[in-house]
């Protein structure tokens, strides 16, 4: 019995080590390309880092370019604003669906989720026409604006956040709300002092995931922006030209794009498990 236990444990460890390597190898290869000179990229491939020939010139060029610093700033503003707005709206919607007897509540919940099921490419042409012809006031339009991307990402991230928070709010006993109402509390006070503290792990997960989704999004950002609101992911395409591809700088931008999301996930990793399991089992 003990042999079987250790055998199964060993197989499990080996399996997850292999899966981790499959995940990390492309990232490691991307880093190797980013610290190589252009002439070394077309030599014999190697998975080992040659410290004597590595260079940080690709990072220096990218970080010294004000255009890419602006792209990074746009991504930070769009992703952070979207995460905050989506988390607040999703919490309010989840509370309303959980506490109030709304007519057709199940149908509303399913309809909201269907907005997340359609492939994003389906909405590309209609959104482009709306942003360039309908939502236009004088010389101003939603096209190539950060607010345009923030609102658009809310449309696609809000159903997911709503679905994620629904079970978490359902897991909060309704008796706590009723006790607060008996003491004369308002709905806003209940949300601020009862629901928000208890749903904080779920809100953390919701904010993290929606932030990552907005940070990594490429399709809409490349279509609905041109100059002023371009994000860092769309900047990757600028290294692929008719005269060739600057692989070193392209890899450097990819690494820099990966770092903020990896840092955010590393700092709040403990909240992810707590948030995803919150409300899963009701007493």
Query: 42 with 95, same domain?
Result: no
Query: 133 with 98, same domain?
Result: yes
Query: Which tokens hold the place of 111?
Result: 């309809």
Highest mean pLDDT among 71-75, 168-172, 242-246, 260-264: 71-75
Query: 148 with 29, same domain?
Result: no
3-state helix, strand and coil shares in percent for the chain, rounded to the nearest 5: 75, 5, 20
- pLDDT tens per residue, range 198-257: 888 888 888 988 999 999 999 999 999 988 999 999 988 888 877 778 888 899 999 998
DSSP 178-194: HHHHHTT--HHHHIIII
**Domain containing 254: what range?**
62-277
Q: How far apart are CA 108 and CA 92, in angstroms?
A: 15
**Is the pLDDT assigned to residue 54 strictly greater than 90?**
no
Q: How far apart are CA 219 and CA 122, in angstroms?
A: 11
Query: 135 with 175, same domain?
Result: yes
Q: Does 224 reside within a domain? A: yes
- pLDDT tens per residue, range 173-205: 888 888 888 888 888 888 888 888 888 888 888
Query: 1 with 140, same domain?
Result: no
Q: Which CATH number do you get for residue 238?
A: 1.10.3720.10
Per-residue pLDDT band for 104 (boundaries 50, 70, 90) equals confident
Structure pTM?
0.84
Q: Does 237 reside within a domain? A: yes
Query: 12 with 69, same domain?
Result: no
Distance of CA 48 to the CA centre of its chain: 31
Q: How many domains does the chain have?
A: 2
């Amino acid at each position: 019995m003990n042999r079987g236990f250790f055998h199964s444990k060993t197989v499990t460890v080996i399996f997850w080590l292999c899966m981790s390597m499959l995940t990390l190898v492309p990232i490691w290869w991307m880093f190797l390309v980013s610290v190589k000179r252009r002439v070394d990229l077309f030599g014999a491939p190697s998975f080992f880092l040659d410290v004597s020939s590595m260079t940080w010139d690709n990072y220096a060029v990218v970080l010294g370019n004000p255009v890419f610093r602006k792209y990074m700033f746009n991504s930070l503003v769009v992703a952070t604003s979207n995460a905050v707005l989506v988390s607040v709206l999703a919490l309010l919607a989840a509370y309303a669906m959980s506490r109030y007897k709304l007519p057709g509540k199940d149908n509303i919940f399913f309809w909201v989720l269907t907005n997340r099921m359609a492939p994003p490419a389906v909405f590309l042409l209609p959104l482009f026409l709306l942003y360039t012809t309908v939502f236009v006031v004088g010389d101003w339009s939603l096209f190539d604006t950060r607010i345009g991307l923030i609102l658009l990402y809310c449309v696609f991230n809000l159903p997911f956040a709503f679905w994620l928070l629904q079970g978490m709010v359902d897991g909060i006993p309704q008796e706590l709300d009723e006790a607060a109402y008996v003491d004369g509390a308002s709905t806003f006070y209940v949300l601020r002092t009862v629901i928000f503290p208890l749903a904080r792990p779920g809100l953390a997960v919701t904010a993290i995931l929606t932030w990552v989704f907005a940070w990594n999004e490429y399709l809409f950002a490349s279509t609905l922006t041109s100059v002023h609101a371009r994000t860092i992911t769309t900047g990757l395409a600028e290294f692929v030209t008719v005269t060739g591809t600057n692989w070193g700088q392209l890899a450097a931008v990819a690494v820099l794009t990966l770092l903020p999301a990896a840092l955010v996930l590393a700092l709040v990793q403990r909240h992810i498990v707590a948030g995803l399991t919150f409300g899963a089992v009701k007493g």
